A and B are shown apart, each in its own frame.
Chain A
Amino acid sequence: MNLKHWLFIFTLAPLALLGQEEDEINYDDFGYADDDGAKTFASPKINGLSPNRFINVAWDVQSRYKAEFSDRTGFAEGEDWDVNESANINYTGGLRLNANIPVVSRNNIVWQMGANYTNTTFSVDEPAGAFEPILTELNSKSLSTGGLFTTVFKPLNEKQFLIFQGQSDYNGNYTFSDFHSFGLTKYSAAVLWGKRPHDRLQWAIGASRTYRAGELNYVPIVLYNWTGKKEKWGTEILFPAKAHGKYWVNKNNLLMFGYELEGASYHLSGLSFNGNSLELRRAEIRPRIEWNKKLVGFFWLNAQLGSRLNYSFNLDELRDGKEFFRGFFGDQEFAAMSRLGTSIYGLIGISFVSL
């Protein structure tokens, strides 16, 4: 073997092999270098879904409305009651913060942890002190919700998935210098099983333990997120908590229309009934339109305008500080009854999102 042969072996032969490798390539004919490809899992998203908010800062405000309360003597559901306290609430509103941070985010599991804080301040038109204790309490201390939550999205295969959500909320008219007992922390959870038949549809069914209706409840839930073929129209439904239709005006502007049921149970520190804690079971239905607009990069503006319909603003007595379940059929008495007039509400916020 002469020098030329060696040179060929060391230099030209590998190039010749490379040339062969590229010859007559058709990508249909490509297969895995290993035995198998990566397993395909259902994505937590579908095309045309509204932006997923990692961090959101918003301000919520309601127009003036009338509030009426009974005295605190105990009432059965549907029982007539006399108005003991009555006033206009000139301002209701406050800050809302929400952070939802991925801890693990892979194609085979998404685990997020989050925290939220909302504050609602009430400005009551001349509450009459000891004669109107509930209105006075609302006027003097704002309602706060501080929560921690976790969400796990676990795809089982290309089509099916599970969602688990757990949340603990510390709600009341506390301030940062005057915390209430952490024994009053509220726990919520939801489990869903669902399918993602294609890139524009995901649905799921499940059950939840929730305070969305103000008091503790256990309700079935249905998720139905769908986007039309042209990716303009669609729905985002998590019934009964919220349901929206949507219309993508363009890639930077999304209109949504529908409702959300918002609620929580708040411990009121300055009031008691039979020596027991009182909980304000606050829930409201918010039919609305929402405008989501891309500001820059992954920062989006969200603005809502709608009506705030009262669902519950009654007070419950927690005997020995213990939570109870009334549900739709329970006959436990309310400590005090209420009526709130309907108001117009607006919300404006900025979010750091992922699409």
Chain B
Amino acid sequence: MKKNKSIVFVLASLFMLTSMVGDTTEEGDKLIGVWEPSNKKVKVKIDKISGKYYGKIVWLREPIDPVTGKPKTDKNNPDESLKDVPLKGFRMLKDFVYAGDGEWNDGTIYDPQNGSTYSCVIKLKDDNTLDIRGYIGVKTFGRTDVWKRLVMKKKKK
């Protein structure tokens, strides 16, 4: 009995320890999830790939291009040969690295409405709110938007 208790204690301690280590090393993973910008036009899923964070469009409020009648593509891409890349699945947030203190930097944000890529920094305001600032050169020349975390509310039937 005493032996069992010791094992339980050791395992519990190990678990707590690994959890604590996990809390600090995986702090950056708080960015992972599904987020919605304040304009509510898209939903963006942020994943981690090879240690950096990326966000792709997984949902569009208006998925069909009113001009072509087909699913929207990245028609403003500066590379002509990539203008037909579907917007659904397009990675608009790229290369974010966790810098500590609830901030991710070194990344870029792409605006599909004009085909421009901006430098970007992300700040976690609270567990479910991000301040995302896209800027040109220095942070002064930028704009901050508020993104909110989304979670699955109901299961598909």
Say if A and B assemble together.
yes
Choose among B8, B67, B147 the residue that contacts A230 (Cβ–Cβ < 8 A).
B67
Interchain CA distance A27-B34 in the complex, whole Å: 9
Q: Is the CB of A25 within 8 A of B152?
A: yes
Among A39, A47, A54, A251, which residue has its beta carbon within 8 angstroms of that of B38?
Answer: A39
B67 touching A38 by the CB < 8 A rule? no
Kindly list chain A residues whose C-beta atoms are within 8 Å of the C-beta of B40: 37, 40
Q: Which residue of B lies closest to A294 (CB)?
A: B78
Q: Is A328 an interface residue (CB 8 A)?
A: no
B contact residues, total (Cβ < 8 Å) = 45
Inter-subunit contact A34/B148 (CB<8 Å):
yes
Q: Out of A106, A110, A229, A298, name the residue touching B66 (CB < 8 Å).
A: A229
A29 adjacent to chain B (CB < 8 Å): yes
Contact A31 B151 (CB under 8 A): yes
B43 contacts A30, CB within 8 Å?
yes
Q: Cβ of A90 < 8 Å from any Cβ of B?
A: no
The reply to whether B11 and A10 contact each other, CB–CB distance below 8 Å, is: yes
How far is A31 from B151 in the complex, measured between Cα atoms in Å?
Answer: 6
Least CB separation from A46: chain B residue: B113
Q: Is the CB of B151 within 8 A of A107?
A: no
Q: Are A105 and B149 in contact (CB under 8 A)?
A: no
- Closest-by-CB residue of B relative to A199 is B113
Tell me whether A102 is interfacial, beta carbon within 8 Å: yes
Q: Is the CB of A29 within 8 A of B156?
A: yes
Given contact pairs A27-B59, A34-B149, A105 touches B15 in the complex (Cβ within 8 A): no
B144 touches A28 (CB 8 A): no
Whether B58 sits at the interface, judged by CB under 8 Å, is yes
- Determine if B102 is an interface residue (Cβ-Cβ < 8 Å): no
Max chain A CB contacts within 10 Å: which of B127, B141, B147, B153? Answer: B141
> Which residues of chain A are within 8 angstroms of B39 by Cβ–Cβ distance?
40, 43, 107
- Complexed CA–CA distance, A25 and B43 (Å): 13
Asked if B144 contacts A106 (CB within 8 A), the reply is yes
Whether A33 and B140, one on each chain, are in contact in the complex, defined by CB atoms closer than 8 angstroms, is no
Contact yes or no, A32 B149, CB < 8 A = yes
- A selection of 9 A-B contacts at a CB cut-off of 8 Å is A6-B11, A26-B156, A33-B148, A36-B148, A37-B36, A37-B40, A38-B38, A38-B145, A38-B147
Which residues 129-157 of B sit at the A interface, judged by CB distance below 8 A? 129, 136-137, 140-156
If A354-B136, A355-B116 touch, does A38 touch B128 (CB 8 Å cutoff)? no
Query: What's the least CB distance linking B100 to chain A, in Å?
Result: 23
A178 close to B (CB within 8 Å): no
**Chain A residue with the shortest CB-CB distance to B38:** A38
Name which residue of chain B comes closest to A31, CB basis: B153
Kindly name the residue among B67, B136, B151, B152 whose own CB sees the greatest number of chain A CB atoms within 10 A: B152
Measured CB to CB, the closest approach of chain A to B133, in angstroms, equals 8
Top 6 A-B pairs, shortest CB-CB distance: A31-B153, A27-B59, A38-B38, A30-B150, A38-B146, A33-B128
Quick check: A107 and B128 within 8 Å, CB to CB?
no
Inter-subunit contact A32/B148 (CB<8 Å): yes
Determine the distance from Cα of A40 to Cα of B143 in the docked complex, in whole angstroms. Answer: 15
CB distance from B149 to the nearest CB of A (A): 4
Task: Kindly state whether residue A187 has any CB partner on chain B within 8 Å.
Answer: no
User: Which residues of A sit under 8 angstroms from B148, Cβ to Cβ?
Assistant: 32-34, 36-38
* Cα A254 to Cα B136 with chains together (Å): 21
The answer to whether B142 and A355 touch across the interface, beta carbons within 8 angstroms, is no
A41 within 8 A of B: yes
Q: How far is the CA of A102 from the CA of B141 in the complex (A)?
A: 6
Selected contact of A101 from candidates B11, B78, B140, B154, CB within 8 Å? B140
Provide the bound-state CA to CA distance between A29 and B153, in Å.
6
Chain A, residue nearest B42 (CB): A27
- Tell me if B71 is interfacial: C-beta within 8 Å of chain A: no
A7 to B150, CA, bound (A): 32
A110 to B137, CA, bound (A): 19
- In the assembled complex, the Cα of A101 lies from the Cα of B150 at a distance in Å of 34
Expressed in whole angstroms, the minimum distance between the Cβ of A214 and any Cβ of chain B is 34
Query: Cα distance A323–B38 when bound, in Å?
Result: 46
CB under 8 Å from chain A, chain B span 45-77: 58-59, 66-67, 76
CB distance from B68 to the nearest CB of A (A): 10
The interface residues of chain B lying within 8 Å CB-to-CB of A229 are 66-67
